[in-house]
Amino acid sequence: MGCFTPTCRKSLILISDRLCTYNRSGKIPVKVRNRLGAVIGSQNVIFQPTDPILITSKEISLGSESFLISSCILPGMDPRGEYKKQCQDNCFYLYNDSGVLCCLFDGHGSQGEKVAEFCQSVIEKIFYQEQALLISNPDSFIKRATEKCDNELSSNQNNIDSEYSGCTGVLIYITTSTIYCGSVGDSRGIIATTIQPDILPAPPANQGIEREILAGIKQRRKSFVETTIHSVQLTKDQKPEDPEELQRIIKFGGRVQRLTDNLGNKIGPYRVWKLKTNTPGLAMSRSIGDMIAKNIGVISEPVCTSYKRIEEDLFIVIGSDGIWDAMDNEDVGTFVECYRNKCKTFVDNWCIGIDINPSNSCIAQIVSEEARMRWYAIVEEEDVMIDDISCIVVEIRRNAEIGVKHSKRPVPIEEVLEKIDEDEGEGLKRAPTIKEIIVRDPRRGSFVSDKIEGLDFLG
C-alpha cells in the first residue's frame, strides 16, 4: 500500500482486490521518541519501494499431479534513504523425475549475498552429481548439501570471507508421497492443508512479544476464506534461546543475551556472543558460514523433518524471515489461499515501476509485497530498515485440476482498511538525532559485527 498507519482517525470499507494493490510510492509516519522512550511527534518519511530482483513462475509435472511454482525476491531498504542495503536473499528450485527441490538462503554480514549465491552453486552441482542419494535418502542429501556448503566456505578457496558472514538455509524436497525438509537458521517452510495432521513435523514458531506491533494491522488486513486452512510448519526455527541450542552454545563457551538500550530496556532478539566480547551478535544458533561463531557452539547441521502428504494439501510456502517477521504462519496460509487464484499464473515480463496487483503478478510476489507493506508498521514504531523478503510458493494441482483454473476455491470477503488523514502525521520537520531518541536494535534480524558501540547487555 502507498501509506499505512495504525492510529488513523478515518475508516473506509474497500473490497479485498483494492486491499491487494501495492503502490510504487510510500509514506510512513515514523514515531519520534525522546530518551525516555515517550513519543514526542512523528515525521513523514516518503520513499519508493524497491522493485523485485527475481520473479519466476513455472509448472512442473510429477506423476498424476503438477506443481505451479512461483518465486520472488524483494530487496530490503532503508525508507529514509540514508543507507544503501545490498540484497542478501536467494531462492531457486530444481527438479528431476522423482521430485522438486526448493532452496532458500538468507545471507547476513558484509558478504552475506556472496555466501547465499555460493550456496546455490554448491547445491546445483551436488543435485546433479548425487541424484541417487537424493532419491534414496533425501535427509542424508540435505545434510550432505549443507555440510558441503559450510566446508567449502571454511576453506576460503572462493575468496569469500565467511568469518563474520553467513546465511540461513531451507531445503525442501517434494515427492509424490512425502515432503523432506532441512533448515539451518530461521528461514521457514509451511504447508497449507484443510485437515490438521495428527503428528506435526515441527513445532510452531514462538511469535514473541514483538508480534504486538503487528497485531492491529493483522486484524485490519485479515484474510477470510470459507474453507478452514491449517498452516502446518514444516521446518523448525533454530533460535539461541531454545533450551537445546542454548545448552550447546554455553558448553562451547558462548553466551546468549539480548541487547539493551541506554535505559536498560531489552531490545531485539536473543543473540549469540563470545563470552567476553561483543561479537558476533548472531540471532540464530545454526547457520552456514559464520566461522567465528562456530567456535562458540553455532553449527551448520540442519534440523531435518518430514511430512506425509495427504489429498487435502493445498500449497507450500517457503520464506526468509522478511516474511515471518511481518506475518505469522496462519496469516500467510490464509492470505495465499485468498489470492492465489486471482494471481497471474505465468509471469512473462516483470512489472517494474508500476502498481502491483494479482492481475499482473504471481502469488509469490503478492505475498512478498503484503509482508513488506506490513513492515511499514514496524518502521513506524521502531524506525528500522525493511529486511530483504524472499518467497517460494508451490501450489499442488492434481490430475483433475491440471490445466484448469481453481474456480472451486473460495473468494475473499470484504475487509476493512483504515485510511490515513492527509493532514495527519506531519510531526517534526527534520530527522531526530541519536541524542533525541531511545537506542534501538540496529536490525531486527541477524547481524554480525566486530564490535557494537554504545550498547550494554543483560547479565
Cell of 269: 532478539
Q: Residue range 388-406: average pLDDT?
A: 75
Instruction: State the pLDDT at residue 264.
Output: 81
pTM: 0.85
Cis before 204 (ω within 30):
no
173, β-bridge pairs = 101, 180
Instruction: Compute the distance between CA of residue 277 and CA of residue 45 in angstroms, rounded to an integer.
Output: 36
pLDDT at 458 over 50: no
Q: What Å distances lie between residue 281 and 208, 269, 275, CA to CA?
A: 19, 10, 11
Asked if residue 17 lies in contact with residue 223, where contact means CB atoms within 8 angstroms, the answer is no
Q: Which residue has the higher pLDDT, 159 or 264?
A: 159
Give me the mean pLDDT over the 385-406 stretch. 78
Please tell me the CATH code under which domain 10-422+438-443 is placed.
3.60.40.10
Percent pLDDT > 70 in the chain is 81
Closest among 349, 348, 325, 346 to 443, alpha carbons compared: 325
What are the residues whose beta carbons fall under 8 Å from the beta carbon of 418, sequence distance 6 or more? 5, 6, 8, 10, 11, 12, 220
Q: Among 145, 156, 111, 81, which residue's Cα sits nearest to residue 385?
A: 81
pLDDT for position 14: 34
Neighbours of 57 (CB within 10 A): 21
Q: 323 near 371, Cβ under 8 Å?
A: yes
% of the chain residues with pLDDT over 90: 66
**pLDDT > 70? residue 255:** yes
Q: 3-state class of 215 per DSSP?
A: helix
Check whether the bond before 6 is cis (ω within 30° of 0): no
Q: What tens digit of pLDDT does each residue of 88-137 get?
A: 999 999 999 999 999 999 999 999 999 999 999 999 999 999 999 999 99
Q: Where is pLDDT greater, at 351 or 245?
A: 245
> 225 by DSSP, 3-state: which?
coil
Average the pLDDT over 17-32 and give the result.
86
- Residues 332-347 have pLDDT tens digits of 999 999 999 999 998 8
**Backbone φ and ψ of 75, nearest 5°:** -65, 145
What's the pLDDT score for residue 411?
A: 40
pLDDT, residue 201, reads: 92
Distance separating alpha carbons of residues 112 and 103, to the nearest angstrom: 16
CB 24 within 8 Å of CB 33: no
Dig out the grid coordinates for 277 from the structure.
566480547
Which pLDDT value is given to residue 296?
A: 97
Give the C-alpha separation, 46 to 400, whole Å: 48
What count of residues does the chain have?
459
Element (H, E) at 388: none
For 174-203, the pLDDT digits (tens) are 999 999 999 999 999 999 999 999 888 998
DSSP 127-167: HHH-HHHHHH-HHHHHHHHHHHHHHHHHHTTTS---SS-EE
Q: What is the pLDDT of residue 17?
A: 52
Sorting pLDDT into bands at 50, 70 and 90, what band is 60? very high
The single residue listed with the C-alpha cell 533450551 is 243
Q: Report the distance separating Cα 93 and Cα 101, nearest Å.
A: 6
**What gap in Å lies between CA 122 and CA 103, rounded to an integer?**
12
Q: Rounded CA gap, 44 and 42, in Å?
A: 7
List the beta bridge partners of residue 232: 191
Establish how many alpha carbons lie within 13 A of residue 458's alpha carbon, considering only the half-sphere containing its beta carbon: 14
**Dist. CA 406–CA 207, nearest whole Å:** 32
In this predicted structure, the answer to whether residue 449 has a pLDDT above a threshold of 70 is no
- The DSSP secondary-structure symbol of 386 reads B
Asked if 399 and 64 touch (Cβ cutoff 8 Å), the reply is yes
Instruction: Identify the band that residue 414 occupies on the pLDDT scale cut at 50, 70 and 90.
Output: very low
pLDDT tens figures, 201-236: 998 887 655 567 788 888 888 888 888 899 999 999
Mean confidence (pLDDT) of the chain: 84
